[in-house]
Amino acid sequence: MALKLFNTLSRSVQEFIPLDPSGKNVGLYCCGPTVYDFAHIGNWRTFVFGDLVRRTLEFKGHAVTHVMNITDVEDKIIKRVRETKTSLREFTGKYEAAFLEDLDRLNCRKPTVMPRATEHIKEIISLIEKLIQRGVAYQAADGSVYFSIEKYRGCGCAYGRLLKLNFDELRAGERVKSDEYAKESAADFALWKARVPEDGDIFWPGPWGEGRPGWHIECSAMSLKVLGDSFDLHLGGEDLIFPHHEDEIAQSEGATGKPFVKYWLHGAFLLVEGKKMSKSLGNFFTLRDLLAKGFTGREIRYLLLTAHYRETFNFTLEGLQGAHTALARIDECVGKLREIIGTPASGTAQSDSQPAVPEAGAPTDLLARFAAALDDDLNISAAWAAVFEWVRETNKRIAENSLNASDAASALAAWEKVDSVLGIGTKSGTEIPAEILALAEARTAAKKAKDFKRADAIRDELKAKGWAIEDTPKGPKLKKI
């Protein structure tokens, strides 16, 4: 079955057909974090949505090049660097590292490439030069370089295709220098911002004098470099439609003369307790705030994945409690299947593998219903309904004693395939502390070195910490005693 997705460009649900004639390779660009603070739970909704898109494509057999940039120079960052009196790299490095840690805690697959804006100044400059050569960018009296919307439209190009703009209301020739602006002030936007004293030492030499790139050109330069002039999918939160994505299209198509992106996907916003997240309302949560309250990454991931990506989602702490209960139902069922098969819990951090589903006796219903739900513009409610009906049915069969080891293995394999998209793992797989995993690895290393005395000592140490280690043909497995 074909995957259908809502394309903001056409404002309709369309069949996803990759640009690659073989249909195999897919290029996906997700606008990444602006590393000026810890990412909040709203940001995470969008990044988990990006992970869902990527995993769905991989589930369907595509080879995905997933690019997520790191915005490590823009207006907000420069302001904070000035306030905190740190260096740019020191400041952004801290939040970039935190972002990667959080990405892992939410079990998002690491993007294939994560380019930093500051490492693409050369590409940014040559893209701006191309725009000047093509007559759609110009240097203004303030020394900055701007994109000319009028010249761009004069070449027969359309500006404002994602968001219908009324050009009669826009004043031609006006300029906007800040990275973020509202559609009422749609105007020529900055590509290269001439150095000003407030920038401190954050500037690069350029053909137009010292300065720094605008935010929008960063994404155009990095996506064109890694994915080529035209690629399949571009994704972000709905607030990025204007001006960020609109400007990305103008810059990229203005420079290459080719269609930039085939499908634009936008995730709806997350509200907290029915309101916009704000520090003053006390409803502002970073992922770390929630972990500190005792919730787990998988509970948060589960909750973020319960709503359809195009619907506003109301995040509540009560919802997180509900996530705990829902996951416990899945864990219990999967645990019972493992018992029937007689294999202890896997020692890996999460069941992120994509095992082949056995031909005979596989619970094709779960897989078929799950896959059909995803194909329907990522209909996640229908996907979860398929999962929980399968849990109910499987529990019933277990209670009736009508599930043998081979049936259980098929059921488990189907669940693991489903979980290759959901990425929630199971409790037994997720909760092995890093310290225990490190001990298990040390024991394997000791055995390899034929240091059996040390291997036995580590086994005892693990036992004292409440973990049994068992050697299986597939390698050592950890089990909570």
Give which of ligand AMP, Zn ion, none residue 98 binds (C-beta under 5 to 8 Å, depending on kind): none
Q: What is the dihedral of CA 316, 317, 320, 322, to 10 degrees?
A: -90
Report the distance separating Cα 28 and Cα 228, nearest Å.
Answer: 11
Q: Which of 252, 250, 315, 306 is nearest to 281 (CA)?
A: 315
Q: Which helix (H) or strand (E) holds 132?
A: helix 121-133
Residues in 410-429 at the binding interface with Zn ion, rule: CB under 5 A? none
Cβ closest to Zn ion, residue 107 vs residue 223: 223
Q: Does 219 bind Zn ion (CB under 5 A)?
A: yes
Give which of ligand AMP, Zn ion, none residue 219 binds (C-beta under 5 to 8 Å, depending on kind): Zn ion
Least distance in angstroms from the C-beta of 259 to ligand AMP: 22
Record the tokens describing residue 135, joined without a space: 């007559």
Cβ closest to ligand AMP, residue 111 vs residue 363: 111
DSSP string, 23-42: S-EEEEEE---BTTSPPBHH
Q: Does 240 bind ligand AMP (CB under 6 A)?
A: yes
Least distance in angstroms from the C-beta of 43 to ligand AMP: 4
Report the distance separating Cα 235 and Cα 229, nearest Å.
Answer: 16
Q: What is the dihedral of CA 310, 315, 318, 324, to 10 degrees?
A: 60
Cβ closest to ligand AMP, residue 12 vs residue 314: 314
Least distance in angstroms from the C-beta of 42 to Zn ion: 16
Site string for ligand AMP, 198-237 (x = CB under 6 A): --------------------------------------xx
Cβ closest to Zn ion, residue 7 vs residue 410: 7
Cβ closest to Zn ion, residue 31 vs residue 326: 31
Residues in 113-172 at the binding interface with Zn ion, rule: CB under 5 A? none
Q: Is 365 helix (H, G, I), strand (E, B) or coil?
A: helix
Residues in 404-443 at the binding interface with ligand AMP, rule: CB under 6 A? none
Q: Does 81 bind ligand AMP (CB under 6 A)?
A: no
Q: Does 187 bind ligand AMP (CB under 6 A)?
A: no
Q: Does 31 bind ligand AMP (CB under 6 A)?
A: yes
Record the tokens describing residue 346, joined without a space: 């896997």
As a whole number of Å, the CA-based R_g of the chain is 25
Query: For 150, phi and psi rounded to 5 degrees?
Result: -65, -45
> 161, 249 in Cβ contact below 8 A?
yes
Question: Which residue type, as a one-letter code, is found at position 328?
Answer: A
Number of residues that bind ligand AMP (CB under 6 A): 15
Q: Which of 360, 379, 253 is nearest to 308 (CA)?
A: 379
- Of 7, 8, 34, 69, the residue at the interface with ligand AMP (CB under 6 A) is 34
Least distance in angstroms from the C-beta of 69 to Zn ion: 6
Q: Does 374 bind Zn ion (CB under 5 A)?
A: no
Cβ closest to ligand AMP, residue 277 vs residue 323: 277
Cβ closest to ligand AMP, residue 304 vs residue 362: 304
Q: Which helix (H) or strand (E) holds 315?
A: strand 313-315
Q: Which helix (H) or strand (E) holds 323?
A: helix 317-341
Least distance in angstroms from the C-beta of 237 to ligand AMP: 2
Site string for ligand AMP, 256-275 (x = CB under 6 A): -----------x-xx-----
Least distance in angstroms from the C-beta of 86 to ligand AMP: 19
Q: Does 239 bind ligand AMP (CB under 6 A)?
A: yes
- Of 27, 45, 116, 192, the residue at the interface with ligand AMP (CB under 6 A) is 45
Window contacting Zn ion (CB under 5 A); options: 10-18, 91-99, 216-224, 278-286 = 216-224
Cβ closest to ligand AMP, residue 251 vs residue 394: 251
Give which of ligand AMP, Zn ion, none residue 203 binds (C-beta under 5 to 8 Å, depending on kind): none
Least distance in angstroms from the C-beta of 31 to ligand AMP: 5
Report the distance separating Cα 446 and Cα 442, nearest Å.
Answer: 6
Q: Does 31 bind Zn ion (CB under 5 A)?
A: yes
Report the distance separating Cα 250 and Cα 216, nearest Å.
Answer: 10
Residue 315 pairs in a beta bridge with 272
Record the tokens describing residue 290, joined without a space: 């929630």
Report the distance separating Cα 193 and Cα 315, nearest Å.
Answer: 38
In angstroms, how far is the first alpha carbon of the chain from the final one? 44
Bond before 243 cis per omega within 30 degrees: yes
Report the distance separating Cα 349 and Cα 334, nearest Å.
Answer: 16
Least distance in angstroms from the C-beta of 285 to ligand AMP: 11
What residue ranges bind ligand AMP (CB under 6 A)?
A: 31, 33-34, 42-43, 45-46, 236-237, 239-240, 267, 269-270, 277
What residue ranges bind Zn ion (CB under 5 A)?
A: 31, 219
